[in-house]
Amino acid sequence: MRENISIKLISEELNLQECIDFVQDDACGGIATFIGTVRNHTKGKEVKRLEFSAYTSMAIKELQKIAERALEKFDISKIAIHHAEGLLQIGDIPVIIAVSSAHRGASFKACKFAIDTLKKSVPIWKKEFFKDGEVWVNAHP
Amino acid sequence: MTIKTLFFGITRDVIGKSNIEFDLNEGQSIADFQSILAKNYSGLTDIKSYAFAVNEEYVNEDYIIKENDIIAIIPPVSGG
């Protein structure tokens, strides 16, 4: 792992301060963060909780690739991408992305790039639990 | 040759197992393998789409499967 990239996929609670501390850099003028939170509704239905499962070894490789691409594409210093696995309750945090850069524009762009790409390519799956059943998100036409 | 295949997300629920070993011929592609899967597990056709990874890297359907490859069926992802 490169010293300017922090990747985690863990079943413990994510730690925002840890991500910020990792990307903090005296040469940087700012840190942008994206924090995903578990929403209590989807398409008008009340969501009770979520469960995330992953193809862990491949997911870590894909997260690493996203971080490397962000470092190539944008003028940023460091990037942390941490994702949670397992059962999460409403308001819990499944994902944190933190990016530092000398000037703020690059951090904002890299943060957006990282979360958008993660949602398309990283083999992690979310199951939503409702009062009357459960469904794998995005799985059906 | 015997090829280990991993299932995740909804495909694991449809198949009812997390992995299966398939007996494939030399020279068969991912497209060939996909037709074998569809023939044996009709429930897979209810899923919007699924991708394939070999040894933890995405591959396209013309990839030729080799001995000792580990194939993973990747249904639409929904992380974040």
- Is the CB of residue B79 less than 8 Å from the CB of residue A53? no
From the CA of A140, how many Å to the nearest CA of chain B? Answer: 5
Tokens standing for A25? 């850099």
CATH superfamily of A5-136: Molybdopterin biosynthesis MoaE subunit (3.90.1170.40)
A57 reaches B (C-beta below 8 A): yes
B45 reaches A (C-beta below 8 A): no
What are A5's strand-pairing partners?
Answer: A79
Contacts of A43 (CB under 8 A, 6+ apart): none
Domains of chain B: 2-74 (3.10.20.30)
Q: Per residue in A109-128, pLDDT tens?
A: 999 999 999 999 999 999 99
Tokens standing for A13? 């609670």
Judge: B79–A83 Cβ closer than 8 Å, yes or no: yes
Distance CA B31, CA A64 (A): 28
Q: Per residue in A35-84, pLDDT tens?
A: 999 999 999 999 999 999 999 999 999 999 999 999 999 999 999 999 99
Judge: A123–B8 Cβ closer than 8 Å, yes or no: yes
Distance CA A16, CA A12 (A): 13
DSSP state of A41: E
Which of A:3-22 have CB within 8 Å of B? none
Mean pLDDT of chain A: 96
Chain A residues in contact with B52 by the CB 8 A cut-off are none
Please state, in angstroms and as integers, the Cα–Cα distance from residue B55 to each residue in A31, A58, B67, following that order: 35, 8, 11
A138 reaches B (C-beta below 8 A): yes
